[in-house]
Amino acid sequence: MNRPATSAGSAYDPALPRAKTLLTWPLAWRPELRTLACGGLLLAVGFVVLYPLALLIVNSFRLDDPNGAAVYGLQAWRQAFTQTSIRVAIGNTLGLTALQVAISSVLAVGAAWIIARTDVFMRRWLEFGFWLAYFLPVLPVVLAWILLLDPQFGLINSGLVALLHRPEGPFNIYSWWGIVWAHLMTYSIAVKVMLLVPVFRNMDGSLEEAAAMAGAGRFTTSLRILLPLMTPVVLIVLLMSVIRGFEAFEIELILGLPAHIDVYSTQIFRLVHQNPAQYGSATAMGVMILAIMLPFVVAQRWATKRRGFATVSGRYRPGIVRLGAWRWPAFAGIAGLLTLMTVVPMVFLLMGTFMRLFGFFTLDNPWTLKHWTAVLSDPLFVDSLRNTLLIGLGTAALSVALFSTTAYVIVRVRFFGVAALDFLSWLPFTLPGILLSLGYLWMFLGVPLFRPLYGSHAVLILALSLSGMTLGVQLSKATLVQLGAELEEASRMSGGSWLTTFRRVVAPLMAPVLLTVAILSFVQTSRNISSLVLLATSTTRPLSLLQLDYMTQGQYEAGGVAGMVVVLITVAIALIARRLGLSLGAGQGQRP
Q: What percent of the chain has pLDDT over 90?
A: 16
| Per-residue pLDDT, 385 | 92
CA distances from 516 to 399, 404, 576 (A): 11, 12, 10
Q: How far apart are CA 130 and CA 577, in angstroms?
A: 12
| Per-residue pLDDT, 590 | 38
Q: How far apart are CA 195 and CA 203, in angstroms?
A: 14
In DSSP terms, 413 is beta-bridged to 23
Q: What's the pLDDT band for 31 if we cut at 50, 70, 90?
A: low
Is pLDDT of 145 > 70? yes
Q: What is the mean pLDDT of residues 438-450?
A: 81
Label residue 65 left, alpha or beta by phi (over 0 means left) and psi (-120 to 50 means alpha).
Answer: beta
Q: What is the mean pLDDT of residues 16-23?
A: 40
What is the three-class DSSP state of 537?
A: coil
| Per-residue pLDDT, 107 | 93
Q: What's the pLDDT band for 475 if we cut at 50, 70, 90?
A: confident
Q: What is the mean pLDDT of residues 550-571?
A: 87
Provide the residue count of the chain: 592
Tens-digit pLDDT profile for residues 298-356: 666 665 555 444 444 444 445 677 788 888 999 999 999 999 999 999 998 898 889 88
What is the three-class DSSP state of 135?
A: helix
Higher pLDDT, 5 or 62: 62
Q: How far apart are CA 321 and CA 216, in angstroms?
A: 13
Tens-digit pLDDT profile for residues 244-283: 777 788 899 889 988 889 888 888 888 887 777 777 777 8
Judging by beta carbons within 10 Å of its beta carbon (0-12, 13-18, 19+), is residue 138 exposed, middle or buried? buried
Is pLDDT of 167 > 70? yes
Among 172-176, 241-245, 466-470, 544-548, which stretch is predicted with the lowest mean pLDDT?
241-245
Q: How far apart are CA 532 and CA 457, in angstroms?
A: 11
Helix residue ranges per DSSP H, 528-586: 543-552, 556-580
Is pLDDT of 28 > 60? no
Q: What's the pLDDT band for 209 if we cut at 50, 70, 90?
A: low
Is pLDDT of 102 > 70? yes
Tens-digit pLDDT profile for residues 395-441: 999 998 899 888 888 887 777 888 888 888 888 877 777 878 888 88
Tens-digit pLDDT profile for residues 479-525: 777 666 666 677 667 766 666 776 777 777 777 788 888 888 888 78
| Per-residue pLDDT, 164 | 81
In DSSP terms, 23 is beta-bridged to 413
Answer whether 151's CB lies under 8 Å from 174's CB.
yes
| Per-residue pLDDT, 7 | 34
Q: What is the mean pLDDT of residues 566-577?
A: 81
- Cα dihedral 137, 140, 143, 144 sign: negative
For residue 191, which phi and psi values (nearest 5 degrees)? -70, -35
| Per-residue pLDDT, 297 | 65
How high is the mean pLDDT of the chain? 78
| Per-residue pLDDT, 334 | 95
Domains along the chain?
A: 39-72+369-584 (1.10.3720.10), 74-307+323-368 (1.10.3720.10)
**Helical (H) or strand (E) element with 62:** strand 62-63
Q: What is the mean pLDDT of residues 213-234?
A: 64
- Rounded to 5°, the CA angle 193-198-204 comes to 130
